Amino acid sequence: MTDNTRLSPGDTIGILGGGQLGRMLAQSAASLGLKSHIFCPDPNSPAFDVSSNFTVAPYEDVDALDRFAAAVSVVTYEFENVPGPTAAHLDRKVAVRPGARALSVSQDRLSEKQFLADTGVAIADFREINSQEDVEQAVAEFAGKSVLKTRRFGYDGKGQLMIRTPNDVANAYERLGSVPTVLEALIDFECEVSVIVARDLDGNCASYDIARNHHENHILKTSTVPAGVAKETLDAARNMAEKIVTGLNYVGVMGVEMFLVKSGDSEELLVNEIAPRVHNSGHWTQDACLTSQFDQHIRAVAGWPLGAATRHSDVVMENLIGHDADDWKAVLEEPSAKLHLYGKAETRDGRKMGHVNRISSKAT
């Protein structure tokens, strides 16, 4: 439903997904006087603990979706892989934000790249791949290193294959499951950065400072702000991010990941991927900004004006992954650290259990 719904305090935001992102969205909603209703198939969802209402049901349960739609004023989601039919069904009953187009574009790596290219933001060269022959032809055209990625359901490095040697090419299509894929030119980047951008119902945009991201085992480990890039690069990043959300007629917060490429003194940015939701690399905003990305997303999907995306402190966000979270006591002893834990019952390797924001005075 494309409408102009604007919420009032006391109204309810429906959230698809009950993980840590849904949890932190529900916490921001509560601070702003809104209620939240979490919809998640997992009966142990950490978001249930902090929301006024929740539904445990599969995303395909049409009756449960109808009751959910009737109980809320607007629907948003914490993950981009909301099944298309679920989003479409809800969209006929209630405003779904950021919006169906953002979901369909970001669920398919090829559509995403085509959209980004059409929008005029810089991206790495890519080819659509539907066979082993396609792989071989594209690798030859790129004449360099490349990476093969499935079009759907990839995250944290899953569904990817590096192609550096002829051996890597052999059976590559089959090794990724013989599903539609995209071949991307491999970029020799300095680092990954990201922009958290928001757009409201009236089309106003606000983007936070860019963060420099460091990954370990393909999972985000730290985000550092300021990122240590030129002012022009910062402006360019924000510019691209705002172009993207405007192009999608987007309402809410989006995470835009970019590669920073250096040649000599010049810095160039290539958009890697977009996430139509609050983003792990924006958790630093909770303690370094007056308006966090979670507050910002709630404001946008409520049809409210955006808050300022300014920053009062420098910050390094560190993810607590798996047994990292066992160190919570040591974190509590650090005077400049703020501990965030997600209330997950079971610690598993690779599972995001919490994060820490370490702030310091803003360097001038």
Contacting residues toward a copy of itself, per CB under 8 A: 9-10, 23, 27, 30-35, 48-52, 287, 290-291, 295, 299, 304-305, 307-308, 310, 312-313, 325, 328-329, 332-333, 335-336, 338-343, 345, 354, 357, 359, 361
Residue ranges of alpha helices (H) inside 176-304 are 231-247, 285-288, 293-301
In whole angstroms, how close is the CB of 16 to a copy of itself at the nearest point? 19
The CA distances from residue 317 to 63, 217, 296, 314, in Å, are 40, 17, 18, 10
In whole angstroms, how close is the CB of 38 to a copy of itself at the nearest point? 12
Residue type, 108: D
Question: What's the number of CA atoms in the CB half-sphere (13 Å) around residue 97?
Answer: 30
Q: How many C-beta atoms surround the C-beta of residue 21 within 10 A?
A: 26
Range 60-63, long-range pairs (CB < 8 A, 24+ positions):
60/85, 60/86, 62/89
In whole angstroms, how close is the CB of 267 to a copy of itself at the nearest point? 29
For residue 213, say whether it is annotated as part of any ligand binding site.
Answer: no
For residue 109, say whether it is annotated as part of any ligand binding site.
Answer: yes
For residue 273, say whether it is annotated as part of any ligand binding site.
Answer: yes
For residue 323, say whether it is annotated as part of any ligand binding site.
Answer: no
Range 309-312, long-range pairs (CB < 8 A, 24+ positions):
309/196, 309/198, 309/206, 309/207, 309/208, 309/209, 309/285, 311/208, 311/209, 311/225, 311/285, 311/362, 312/288, 312/362
**Which residue carries 């490349």 as its tokens?**
146
In whole angstroms, how close is the CB of 5 to a copy of itself at the nearest point? 15
Nearer to a copy of itself, 105 or 198 (CB): 198
For residue 157, say whether it is annotated as part of any ligand binding site.
Answer: yes
Nearer to a copy of itself, 23 or 243 (CB): 23
For residue 252, say whether it is annotated as part of any ligand binding site.
Answer: no
Nearer to a copy of itself, 229 or 288 (CB): 288
| Mode of pairing for the β-strands spanning 219-225 and 211-216 | antiparallel
Nearer to a copy of itself, 345 or 363 (CB): 345
Distance between CA atoms of residues 34 and 299, nearest Å: 10
Nearer to a copy of itself, 49 or 268 (CB): 49
Under 8 Å between Cβ of 333 and 63: no
User: What are 29's strand-pairing partners?
Assistant: none
In whole angstroms, how close is the CB of 354 to a copy of itself at the nearest point? 6
Nearer to a copy of itself, 9 or 166 (CB): 9
For residue 184, say whether it is annotated as part of any ligand binding site.
Answer: yes
Q: How many C-beta atoms surround the C-beta of residue 32 within 10 A?
A: 15
In whole angstroms, how close is the CB of 152 to a copy of itself at the nearest point? 33
For residue 185, say whether it is annotated as part of any ligand binding site.
Answer: yes
Where is the binding site for ATP, in residues?
Answer: 109, 149, 154-160, 184-187, 192, 215, 272-273
Positions at the binding site: 109, 149, 154-160, 184-187, 192, 215, 272-273
